[in-house]
Structure 1
């Protein structure tokens, strides 16, 4: 593993040590890249390169547009996703891929929670990713479902993985309780377009087994 700092973000590259294998880009909340890479090995993922980005301004970099806080005492969202995506595509990807044994077979983008939302949003703003992993994605985000239904991705994705904990929608919070309904509607929307997609329901709430759920999504993307 090699870690470099790019514009204040910590970028770690975990090498699969073979040329022509996929590269998956994963934005992380608390630098859990090493654990996720090890979990992916443990479940028998085929060789791949993992590039993780941490030290993110989470409620800014991952948010597609401004939105009020979803939680009591939470931070408001200030839409910085377009700026961060520009940094990812123009600086982070070229720098990370200098470490690889050769150009990747394909690039995927994945994330958990708000980073799952960002992963899906990214394909509407850039054509560099062909597979998406949206694990426990914050698809309750106000206006996001409507955005998906009214916009076209920059390239048609090869496949999209969705997952959610079966207790995530069981909340009194009127914004968050839409998460399962929205995820299912969005997944059905892609399925009806003939895109290879799946929705996996896992036991537990949002904070259970995030590492394992992320590794499971990566494994699915790699095995398509």
Structure 2
């Protein structure tokens, strides 16, 4: 099954030219982010990557739903990452004449979890990531990152969350800020540069502002590292 909607991918060109870094933003086709507003003024190019069936395609292994009776998570992130890296990225960059030296991945909620997963995988093609209100409460995630986190020297992660997120949602979700702080500590222990930002609002608020801040942080870091 294909999880990435290649036909729905959209490239927002930055000011940096064909060799500028590219940030791949995981998006939900049914409720897309205002990416044009969030990406305004960047040097890096930004690619919207619509991904189908979030609960399956963006989760790293199967897990029970967050509440009794809710659908289980499918755990197909490895397949989605293989599709993104092996097919989507080459197709998008060839079609648009992009030849970046560095790439980043960015996402919100389960997209943020997937972005951190893609960043932390062995032989990851991404030198930076933004995990925005990421679902790092996911069962087993922090222990997995602790066991498998690669060398982060020369790499960068931007993590952000709303200060009210720990107060809402199913019980498993209420440790999300503690879990995000644990992720930041693990990445730093492995030599990765990390910014952790706690901003206003809950999980359902300030989407565009968090996305814009994450993209700006990636843009600045990738420009500095060239």
TM-score range, shorter chain: 0.7 to 0.9
In 2, Cα distance between the equivalents of 1:182 and 1:207?
19
CA deviations 1:149-185 (Å, max 9, x no partner) are 0013387561000000101111363200110000011
Give the conservation status (yes or no) of the 8 Å contact 1:129–1:157: no
Residue 109 of structure 2 corresponds to residue 113 of structure 1:
yes
Alpha carbons of 1:154 and 1:27: their partners in 2 closer, same or farther (altered >3 Å)? Answer: farther
Report the aligned-residue RMSD. Answer: 2.2
Q: Contact (CA 8 Å) 2:106, 2:129: kept in 1 or not? A: yes
Which stretch has the larger CA shift, 66-75 or 164-173?
66-75
The TM-score with structure 1 as length reference comes to 0.88
Matched residues, number: 216
| Structure 1 residue 6 displacement after superposition | 8.6
1:22 equivalent in structure 2: 21
Quote the residue 1:194 is aligned against.
191
Q: Please, what TM-score do these two structures have when normalized by structure 2? A: 0.87
Other-structure match for 1:146: 143
Residue in structure 1 matched with residue 127 of structure 2 by the alignment: 130
Partner of 2:224: none
Once the two structures are superposed, what CA deviation does each residue of 1:7-38 show, in whole Å capped at 9, x if it has no partner?
645222222261211100111124635x2232
Deviations 1:59-85 (A, max 9, x none): 011010001111455331001111111
| Residue aligned with 1:141, SS | coil
Q: Which ranges of structure 2 fall in alignment gaps of 5 or more residues?
A: 222-226
Gap runs ≥5 in structure 1:
none
The secondary structure found in structure 2 opposite 1:175 is helix
User: What is aligned with 1:32?
Assistant: 32
Structure with more of its chain in helix, by fraction: 2
